[in-house]
Amino acid sequence: MPRRLFIAGNWKMNTNAAEAVKLAKAVVEKLGKVQEMDIAVCPPFVYLAQVAAAVAGSRIAVGAQNCFYENNGAFTGEISAAMLKDVGCRYVILGHSERRHVIGEMDELINRKVLKALSDGLDVILAVGELLAERDAGTTLEVVSRQVKRGTEGVGKAEMARVTIAYEPVWAIGTGRTATPQQAQEVHAMIRSLLAALYGNELAQQIRIQYGGSVKASNAKELLACPDIDGALVGGASLKAEEFAGIVAGGMK
Ligand code: PEP
């Protein structure tokens, strides 16, 4: 069975409450009935409930941008997977490069979050990707393999079916510099063969691998046409409903 494309908008630390609801409603208006692919928006924590209400009844799902690995307790400032479920999230992004490189999250911490999110019923978007220096040093495949392997350590086959990998070269995030379809496809194919080695070919063929890094309406079509690119994790361009809709249009057959 061909993989369904999955386009997710990562709003990062943007919008206020009114803007978040307005953007969510505009996304619903443009994309709320799209059957051909899966679409999600990932607003900041504090607007999740309002955005979930705004997209209710449409085909747009809601995701969070992070979560913690404990249920509750003395973890000031953290948010649990159960809390995210409670406010209507289906997905959570974990291991985003801004969390790895700005906040300092390591593979082991990300892995604990992945395991907890999956066991609490959230579907995970696990983001991986190399720094420019790592690409220049020729270590892209090594870095990305390590992030995928360590990030998914201990995840069983049944739960792995609820993981999407987002390949996001750090040098392409928010820079306007997109990986070429060939550069992206090469890494996506490598990730899929790694998944096949870890989980068997049948499951590896089902797991979706999104590309992320300056995806916009004008470059989505050629990226999404690559055989191992199964969607996009979109930052900046997801803040404009029109542009986000243009990316979805790029994935239509
Ligand atoms: C992202 O935040 O995951 C991302 C890819 O950002 P941008 O599309 O702005 O490069």
Is the pLDDT score of 1 beyond 80?
no
d(CA 13, ligand 1 centre) in Å: 12
Q: Does residue 37 lie within any of the structural domains? A: yes
Q: Name the residue range of residue 21's domain.
A: 6-250
In this prediction, residues 64-78 reach a mean pLDDT of 98
Q: Which ligand 1 atom is nearest residue 12's CA?
A: 2
Whether 89 contacts 48, CB under 8 Å: yes
Closest ligand 1 atom number to CA of residue 175: 10
Residue 179 within any structural domain of the chain: yes
Pocket of ligand 1 contains residue 212 by CB under 6 Å:
yes
DSSP state string for the chain: -PPPPEEEEE--S---HHHHHHHHHHHHHHHTT--SSEEEEE--GGGHHHHHHHHTTSSEEEEES--BSSSSSS-TT--BHHHHHHTT--EEEES-HHIIIII---HHHHHHHHHHHHHTT-EEEEEE---HHHHHTT-HHHHHHHHHHHHTTT--HHHHTTEEEEE--GGGSSSS-PPPHHHHHHHHHHHHHHHHHHH-HHHHHHS-EEEESS--HHHHHHHHTSTT--EEEESGGGGSHHHHHHHHHHT--
How far from 223 is each of 60, 115, 139, 226, CA to CA, in Å?
22, 30, 22, 6
Q: Is residue 148 part of a domain?
A: yes
User: Is 96 one of the annotated active-site residues of the chain?
Assistant: yes
Task: Taking residues 32-48, report their average pLDDT.
Answer: 98
Ligand 1 atom nearest to CA at 232: 5
Residue in 6, 7, 10 to alter for ligand 1 test, most ligand atoms within 8 A of Cβ: 10
Please count the structural domains in the chain.
1
Residue showing tokens 């080695």: 197
pLDDT in tens, 10-30: 999 999 999 999 999 999 999
Rg (CA), the chain: 17
Q: Is 215 in the pocket of ligand 1 (CB under 6 A)?
A: yes
Which residue of the set 96, 130, 134, 188 is catalytic?
96
In short, whether 95's Cβ falls inside 6 Å of ligand 1 is no
Give me the pLDDT at residue 177, please: 86
Q: In this structure, what CATH number is given to the domain that contains residue 107?
A: 3.20.20.70
185-201 per-position pLDDT tens digit: 999 999 999 999 999 99
Is 1 inside a domain boundary? Answer: no
Catalytic residue among 105, 134, 168, 243: 168
Tell me the pLDDT band of 69, cut-offs 50, 70 and 90: very high
- Indicate whether 77 belongs to any domain: yes
Is there a domain that residue 221 lies in? yes
CB 168 within 8 A of CB 213: yes
- Whether ligand 1 lies within 6 angstroms of the CB of 236 is answered as yes
213 belongs to a structural domain: yes
Is the residue at 67 inside a domain? yes
Whose C-alpha lies nearest to ligand 1, atom 1? 235
Provide the whole-model pTM. Answer: 0.98
38 forms bridges with which residues in the sheet? 6
pLDDT-based confidence at residue 174 (cuts at 50, 70, 90): confident
Do 93 and 42 touch, CB atoms closer than 8 A? yes
pLDDT at 169: 97
